[in-house]
Each structure stands twice: as structure tokens, then as C-alpha cells.
């Protein structure tokens, strides 16, 4: 009887694995980071025009500092894409400072840069200052988590690095 349960479990796991792999190729993605609600997201085709407030999937600029925070993936340097909110777009003014970031004079929730991560590793932040978002770039943040690795540390991201809009399918906090 126990062998049947084990065989059934293996069969179910294999089925779910195949279903998930098929889902991934069809556009399903899992988010297990606290930066955005955890769960299953749909990768909707990105039309090349970012809008403030969009949730997007993108490849952030590679750096040695980012490696511990992202898993293996398809982005340059072999890192995984991020799921973030487009907080600032072309023409916006972003002011980054020790108490957080302002977009066009409005404080962005959970945007205060941290000196270190939960393991005590130093976080090198993007330089404080006022920036005007240039053509072809965006600033990606997570307003969901104060510990997110986002524009506070990587600065602007090229619009061309965005490959999908993120649509929640089944998510939880």
C-alpha cells in the first residue's frame, strides 16, 4: 500500500512539473520574493511603452552586489528577472535621499535606502540627488516591501530591459 502512495506522489509531482514547465513557456512565472506579492504571475507581452504604476518583469543591470539577491535566470550575467513597479518614467523628476524617494514631489512608500541587508552585508545605494528620467529609462521600485532590491541600489533601468508586464494570477502577501 505504501508503495502505491509513493508511486502516486511521484506521478503527481511529475505531472505538476510538466504542467508548470508548460505554463512557464506559455507565460506563467512564480514570484517567491517578498518584493511583490508571492504567487503566480502572468507575463503579458510588453508593448515597449512603460506607464507609471505598471508592474513589469525586467532584467536589471548586473553587478556583483545584486548576485546574492537574485537566483539564476535568463538575464545578462545569468541572473533572474525582477518583478517591480514602474515608479518613474521619461520626464519625471526623482529625488533620492536618506529618508526615501520623491517622484515629482510625492513620497514613494517603502523607498528609504537601507545600509545593510538582513545578513548584515553592506548595501551600496544609488547616489543621493535629483534626477530627471531620460528617454529610454525608468526607475523600478517595490512599494510592497521596504527591503526590496530596486532603484535605490541599481538606479535607472533601460526600457529595453523590460520584457513583460506582470499580471497577478494567484498571489498572496
Residue 143: what pLDDT?
A: 87
Evaluate whether residue 19 is within a structural domain. no
3-state secondary structure of 31: strand
Q: What is the pLDDT of residue 16?
A: 41
How far, in Å, are 21, 22, 39, 104, 155 from residue 18 at the CA level?
Answer: 5, 6, 18, 46, 38
Contacts of 115 (CB under 8 A, 6+ apart): 122, 123
Q: Is residue 141 part of a domain?
A: yes
pLDDT for the residue numbered 119? 93
Q: In the chain, which stretches have pLDDT less than 70? A: 1-26
Report the alpha-carbon distance of residue 126 to residue 97 in Å, rounded.
Answer: 9
Write the pLDDT tens digit of every residue in 29-38. Answer: 999 999 999 9
pLDDT in tens, 54-85: 999 999 999 888 888 888 899 999 999 999 99
- Please report whether residue 65 resides in a domain: yes
pLDDT at 148: 93
Q: How far is CA 169 from CA 28, 42, 46, 141, in A?
A: 9, 6, 17, 21
User: Exposed, middle or buried by CB within 10 Å (0-12, 13-18, 19+), for 140?
Assistant: buried
- 5 part of a folded domain: no
Hey, CA dihedral for 57, 63, 69, 74, is it positive or negative? positive
| Residue at 24 is within a domain | no
Beta-bridged to residue 140, according to DSSP, are: 86
Angle made by CA atoms 43, 91, 60, in degrees to the nearest 5 = 40
Question: The CATH number of the domain where 71 resides is what?
Answer: 2.10.109.10
Predicted pLDDT at 173: 77
In a domain, 17, yes or no: no
> What is the domain extent for residue 130?
29-172
Using CA atoms, how far apart are residues 94 and 108, in angstroms rounded to an integer?
A: 10
> What's the total number of domains in the chain?
1
21 falls within a domain? no
Amino acid at each position: 500500500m505504501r508503495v502505491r502512495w509513493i508511486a502516486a506522489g511521484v506521478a503527481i509531482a511529475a505531472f505538476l512539473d510538466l504542467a508548470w514547465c508548460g505554463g512557464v513557456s506559455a507565460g506563467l512565472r512564480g514570484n517567491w520574493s517578498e518584493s511583490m506579492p508571492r504567487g503566480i504571475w502572468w507575463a503579458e507581452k510588453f508593448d515597449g511603452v512603460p506607464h507609471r504604476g505598471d508592474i513589469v518583469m525586467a532584467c536589471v543591470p548586473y553587478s556583483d552586489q545584486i548576485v546574492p539577491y537574485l537566483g539564476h535566470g535568463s538575464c545578462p550575467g545569468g541572473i533572474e528577472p525582477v518583478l517591480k513597479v514602474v515608479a518613474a518614467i521619461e520626464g519625471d523628476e526623482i529625488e533620492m535621499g536618506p529618508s526615501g524617494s520623491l517622484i515629482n514631489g510625492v513620497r514613494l512608500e517603502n523607498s528609504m535606502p537601507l545600509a545593510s541587508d538582513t545578513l548584515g552585508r553592506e548595501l551600496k545605494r544609488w547616489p543621493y540627488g535629483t534626477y530627471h528620467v531620460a528617454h529610454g529609462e525608468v526607475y523600478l521600485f517595490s512599494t510592497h516591501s521596504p527591503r526590496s532590491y530596486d532603484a535605490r541600489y541599481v538606479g535607472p533601468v533601460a526600457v529595453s530591459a523590460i520584457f513583460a508586464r506582470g499580471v497577478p494570477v494567484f498571489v498572496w502577501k
